[in-house]
Amino acid sequence: MKLLIFGGTGFLGRYIVKAACSAGHEVTLFNRGASHPELFAELEQLRGDVDGGTEPLKGRSWDAAIDTCSMFPRAVRSLTTLLADAVAHYTYISSTSVYADFDRVGIDESYPVSTLEDETLEEDKPHYYGGLKALCEKAAEVGMPGRVLTIRPGLLVGPFDATDRFTYWPQRIALGGEVIAPGNPDQQVQFIDARDLAAWIVHMIQNRQTGVYNAKGPLPHALTMQTLLETCKVVTESDARFVWLDEHFLLEHEVAPYRDMPLWVPSDMIGFATVSSQKALAHGLTYRPLAETIQDTLDWNATRPATDEIKAGLKPDREQELLQLWYSYLAI
């Protein structure tokens, strides 16, 4: 197949390119050349921008297009209008953040999505993210009805994850000592290795699948925070000792879910960590062992400059401060 990939040199994009090439497909990349332009020099690369600047695409055709980067529905409308007669299949990478709320366990693809009062809004801010992604999904289907594959991933993890929202845990646990662990040890967590997601996306495109699919994980069954942290401890051969801080204590002391304590969400948002991926599993989504993702992430992290700071999680001073406050609280 001839594949057109928008982006292709970031996190998920690079793995989609690798999976497509490994499967023998002919790949063309379309991007601005701003992120890792040294990657995939052997492939055809067209320079432009999904938000305008699509002139290099005119007069060309491909079997399928994969959009990893469009954020605003106007851009998706423009792309699908341009590509309607140029590609047979369009994949849009969305997010499980599209859902209107996370009050219930087991949210599936039929659950209501977020809406925006002003659908022309173009502000890249966290509280608009879900609504904008939902509008992009709608725009894609309107532009290419019956030919769109919409993927709703959760947190993507693995080597080259620039957010460090997973990397924090194996890196911190490898250092050993007392490690703050958030809330309930049995609370579920969800994420997916970007390499597993990429391979499955290519599989779905090869089979001309359409429709909407949640893609979270990492297992068909629940993964708890305790299992994740204990697996990190085993992989790193660490002497880490976990100190489980109560959810109310964390919130009272302004510990931000996901940012300060990656993968942790308060119990009133448990739906965010229990989204159903059964539809994707029924269509061939598989997951590598958790220990493999942990080890590969650690190996990649070890190649980064020593001056790089982990972008998510607690700073050492803040962790020690919270531990002292916790022990004082227990002593009362």
Residue 144 belongs to some domain of the structure: yes
pLDDT tens digit at each of 332 positions of the chain: 999 999 999 999 999 999 999 999 999 999 988 888 889 999 999 998 887 788 899 999 999 999 998 999 999 999 999 999 999 999 999 999 999 999 899 999 999 999 999 998 888 888 899 999 999 999 999 999 999 999 999 999 999 999 999 999 999 999 999 999 999 999 999 999 999 999 999 999 999 999 999 999 866 568 999 999 999 999 999 999 999 999 999 999 999 999 999 999 999 888 999 999 999 999 999 999 999 999 999 999 999 998 888 999 999 999 999 999 999 988 87
- Residue 14 sits in the same domain as residue 138: yes
Edge-to-edge strands, sheet with 64-67: 44-47, 26-31, 2-6, 64-67, 89-93, 148-153, 211-215
Residue 211 belongs to some domain of the structure: no
- Asked if residue 181 lies in contact with residue 229, where contact means CB atoms within 8 angstroms, the answer is yes
Residue 132: CB atoms within 10 A of its CB come to 25
Provide the number of structural domains found in the chain: 2
- Residue 109 sits in the same domain as residue 238: no
Residue 259 belongs to some domain of the structure: yes
- Asked if residue 70 lies in contact with residue 136, where contact means CB atoms within 8 angstroms, the answer is yes
Q: Partners of 150 in the beta sheet?
A: 92, 212
- Residue 180 sits in the same domain as residue 320: yes
- Residue 177 sits in the same domain as residue 148: no
- Residue 135 sits in the same domain as residue 177: no
Question: DSSP letter string over 32-101?
Answer: -S-S-TTTTTTSEEEE--SSS--GGGTT---SEEEES---SHHHHHHHHHHHTTT-SEEEEE--GGGBS-
Q: Is 309 exposed, middle or buried (0-12, 13-18, 19+ CB in 10 A)?
A: exposed
Length of the chain: 332
Residue 208 belongs to some domain of the structure: no
226 contact partners, CB below 8 Å, separation of at least 6: 181, 185, 186, 242
- Asked if residue 27 lies in contact with residue 20, where contact means CB atoms within 8 angstroms, the answer is yes
Residue 198 belongs to some domain of the structure: no
- Residue 111 sits in the same domain as residue 233: no
- Residue 144 sits in the same domain as residue 174: no
- Residue 176 sits in the same domain as residue 132: no
Closest by Cα among 69, 72, 11, 63 to 39: 11
First to last CA, the chain: 67
Q: Partners of 90 in the beta sheet?
A: 65, 148
- Residue 25 sits in the same domain as residue 101: yes
Output the domain CATH number for residue 101.
3.40.50.720
Question: DSSP letter string over 137-170?
Answer: HHHHHHHSTT-EEEEEE--EESTT-TT-TTTHHH
- Residue 86 sits in the same domain as residue 173: no
Q: How far is CA 99 from the centre of its chain?
A: 15
Sign of the CA dihedral running 300, 302, 304, 307 = positive
- Residue 178 sits in the same domain as residue 308: yes
Output the domain CATH number for residue 295.
3.90.25
307: domain range?
A: 168-190+220-267+289-331
- Residue 173 sits in the same domain as residue 306: yes
